[in-house]
Amino acid sequence: MKRRIAMPWLLALALLAGQVQPLLAGDRPASRRAMSFLQLGAGPRAYALGEAFTGLADDVTALSWNPGGLAQLSDPEILFMHNQWISNIKQEYLAGTYPVFGGMAAGQVSFLNSDIQLRRDQDGVLTGDGFRPYSLMGGLAYGRSLDWGFSAGASVNYAREQLDDAVYQTVFFDLGALYRTPGAWWSLGAAVQNLGLAVAGYSLPLTLRAGGSARFFSDQLNLNLDVARTVPGWFRYSLGAEFWYRNLFAVRAGYLIRPEFEGLDRISGLRAGLGFNLQGYQLDYALIPQGDLGWGHRASFTYFFGCGRALASEKAALIQTSRERGQAALKNQAWAEAVDAFQKVLAFLPLDADAQAGLRKARDALRQQEQEQEIRQRFTQAKKFGRAGQVQDAMDEYQRILLLDEGNQRAAQALARTRKTFHSRTIAEYMRKGRQAYKVQKWVDALQAWQAVLAIDKKHAKALKMLDKTRKQLAKGGKGYKDPRIKKVYLSGLWKFEKGDYCGAIDDWSRVLEIASGHKQARKYLREAIRLRDAKVKQLLQSGDQYLKQEDLIRSVRSWRNILELSPRHAPARQRLRKNNDQIQAQAKKLYLKGIEVYTHGRYKQSIAYWRDVLTLEPDYTGAKKNINKAREKIKATQ
């Protein structure tokens, strides 16, 4: 490294390395470390405790002391710290946590810089222009609870340092572990910091830490003890105490014993600080004497996204209250309240077996309650459809009930009864209409009548026989013309017409008339196709509006989309879809998630029904078709 750098910055780095006196007395091997600023921790709270934080490590600054302590956090936190250090050297620090994958993830950024420094030699003589040195560090960490009270964490970090015109950078790791059984008044921690490769021939300040913490008076008083060693180097010993008054105001004090600091007075080991907790916000301050080098000031602002820093007594009271409320809710069958209560218990005690069992029971009962409510609603809807003469819609409701509960005898009997009555009456009515239309040679009306009968009973012998006769009569229109295209296109129109594809039939018969404008059957059936299409569109539009009044969005959208299949440019149907687009998207998302929920519980037929409704609302909804195929594969595998 460059030897001609500013003395204040050199003293700062030496102070971090714990080598003020050795630097003054001579160059020793212990002082030959790269990036000594990595020993500069974060958090006024930890510094006010004399840096005795390894066994406590219960806030976001665990990143700087023991990443294993991150597992103690249950809610996200964000901390910003400003460090006004010696010789106008400043540090800005930002860190945050977020629960993920059953543990706590965290990130940090630290920036250390100073005013412009003048180049001087060892005798203090100016040797060049000024420069602005800086040190930067950023990293990601993850901590997770293990069995038997243990938790562990690790971080990966990037560091960059500029001294004069030289720039150094590296990647290093921190490892940490903490032991504390639920409800215990004491905890132990250990950490290894700055594990990485040498930089420019100098090793990183590898630091080993171990410490313990004791909590008294329901966490209102914390006593902490740490021992640390930077390899190679001396052992450091830290003592710290913290007292909270009603979780609102904290007083902290500590002492750092540093045998290597022979050149500083004893008062430089003292630490003191304050803390203020303001319902989700916390302000912390630490005062750090540095002997003749001045005073250090650290201040931070922390925002808690959850319940904040509750004391042990408050946590215990909240846990007990939530547990009792959950048990009472189970007894009173208030399932939603029970779910909320047990979730609060598990937020503090993720491995609590009783809370987990209660939560499972409440969730299962809640799902059963929601299913029973949906069944009741569908029975009510089916009765309304039956009274309105919408028998097919009523049968659809009974079928959906059976998807929810395959053993529902009431729905099965109602479906069988409705189907039998409806089918017998409908078949008789369509057979009468078909015979009457055939008798007066209204082949199109007869064709539709036979198709309606076969839609109910595919093996109805009389309908099949009359359908064949009617087809032969319709097919006569394709004969007697020299152009071979006429028969082909004419019969294609008949086939599409029979399938209900009126638009396709209209296109084919229009082509026939382009070839042979005098084709009477094509002209006649073209008019019939247009009439039936318009009548069907009108019926669907009215049905869609009626369903919308009944708050049946799925059937409304199905009607409007069917209109667009018959008449792609139909403006009223498009207008209705645009008007209700937000509601359609919201309902599609809700049903999609509902399908995933029932799929995870093995109700594959029910999940398919939900995802089909999604495709009715949004035909291109991402994932719905794929999930339907997965559910079908599951059904095949279980058969």
Q: Is 57 exposed, middle or buried (0-12, 13-18, 19+ CB in 10 A)?
A: buried
Integer Cα distance of 65 and 508 in angstroms: 80
pLDDT of residue 607: 87
User: Is 452 domain-assigned?
Assistant: no
The answer on 144 and 24 residing in a single domain is: yes
Phi and psi for 554 in degrees, rounded to 5?
Answer: -60, -50
Q: What is the dihedral of CA 425, 431, 434, 435, to 10 degrees?
A: -130
The mean pLDDT value for 328-348 works out to 86
Integer Cα distance of 443 and 533 in angstroms: 17
Of 21-30, 474-483, 617-626, where does mean pLDDT reach its minimum? 21-30
- Whether residue 474 has pLDDT greater than 80: no
**What CATH number is associated with residue 539?**
1.25.40.10
Nearest alpha-carbon partner for 24 in 9, 37, 11:
11
- Whether residue 2 has pLDDT greater than 60: no
Integer Cα distance of 598 and 604 in angstroms: 7
**Banded pLDDT at 436 (limits 50, 70, 90):** confident
The overall average pLDDT reported for the chain is: 83
The answer on 525 and 609 residing in a single domain is: no
The answer on 123 and 251 residing in a single domain is: yes
The answer on 487 and 363 residing in a single domain is: no
**What CATH number is associated with residue 186?**
2.40.160.60
Among 291, 310, 329, residue at a domain's last position: 310
Integer Cα distance of 117 and 164 in angstroms: 9
Integer Cα distance of 397 and 550 in angstroms: 14
Beta-bridged to residue 193, according to DSSP, are: 207
Integer Cα distance of 241 and 229 in angstroms: 21
pLDDT digits (tens, 9 = 90+) for 151-188: 999 999 999 988 767 888 999 999 999 998 877 889 99
CB atoms within 10 A of CB 279: 10
**Banded pLDDT at 78 (limits 50, 70, 90):** very high
Among 357, 391, 425, residue at a domain's last position: 391
Nearest alpha-carbon partner for 460 in 440, 422, 430, 417:
430
- Whether residue 241 has pLDDT greater than 90: yes
User: Is 455 domain-assigned?
Assistant: no
pLDDT digits (tens, 9 = 90+) for 609-633: 889 899 999 998 888 889 899 888 8
Integer Cα distance of 77 and 282 in angstroms: 11
What is the percent of the chain where pLDDT is above 90?
29
User: Is 330 domain-assigned?
Assistant: yes
User: In total, how many domains does the chain have?
Assistant: 4
Q: Is 502 exposed, middle or buried (0-12, 13-18, 19+ CB in 10 A)?
A: buried
User: Is 429 domain-assigned?
Assistant: no
- Whether residue 24 has pLDDT greater than 60: no
Structure tokens at 160: 């960059």
User: Is 2 domain-assigned?
Assistant: no
The answer on 497 and 363 residing in a single domain is: no
Amino acid at 56: L
- Whether residue 194 has pLDDT greater than 90: yes
The answer on 237 and 90 residing in a single domain is: yes
Maximum mean pLDDT: which of 130-139, 227-236, 380-389: 227-236
Of 29-38, 75-84, 393-402, 534-543, where does mean pLDDT reach its minimum? 29-38
User: Is 473 domain-assigned?
Assistant: no
Of 5-9, 342-346, 422-426, 634-638, where does mean pLDDT reach its minimum? 5-9
The answer on 115 and 29 residing in a single domain is: yes
H or E element that contains 632: helix 624-638
In which region does residue 193 sit, left (phi positive, over 0), alpha (psi from -120 to 50) or beta (all else)?
beta
The answer on 501 and 608 residing in a single domain is: no
CB burial string 78-95: b at 16+ within 10 A, e below: ebebebebbbebebebbb
- Whether residue 29 has pLDDT greater than 50: no
More confident residue, 18 or 181: 181
- Provide the 3-class DSSP secondary structure of residue 34: coil
- Provide the 3-class DSSP secondary structure of residue 494: helix
The answer on 285 and 167 residing in a single domain is: yes
**Banded pLDDT at 313 (limits 50, 70, 90):** low
User: Is 1 domain-assigned?
Assistant: no
pLDDT of residue 140: 96
**Banded pLDDT at 20 (limits 50, 70, 90):** very low
User: Is 474 domain-assigned?
Assistant: no
Q: Is 158 exposed, middle or buried (0-12, 13-18, 19+ CB in 10 A)?
A: middle
DSSP for 413-471, please give it.
HHHHHHHHHHHHHHHHHHHHHHHHHHHTT-HHHHHHHHHHHHHH-TT-HHHHHHHHHHH
pLDDT of residue 124: 62
Task: Give the CA distances from residue 629 to residues 122, 273, 598, 605, in Å, rounded to whole numbers and listed in that order.
Answer: 77, 62, 15, 11
**Which residue has tokens 């093996």?**
459
Amino acid at 138: G
- Whether residue 8 has pLDDT greater than 60: no
Integer Cα distance of 429 and 415 in angstroms: 21
The mean pLDDT value for 44-61 works out to 94
CB atoms within 10 A of CB 22: 18
**Banded pLDDT at 116 (limits 50, 70, 90):** low
The answer on 544 and 632 residing in a single domain is: no
Beta-bridged to residue 226, according to DSSP, are: 211, 238
Among 333, 360, 391, residue at a domain's last position: 391
The answer on 172 and 253 residing in a single domain is: yes
The answer on 159 and 135 residing in a single domain is: yes
Integer Cα distance of 318 and 502 in angstroms: 67
- Which domain, by its residues, includes 507? 479-571
**What CATH number is associated with residue 328?**
1.25.40
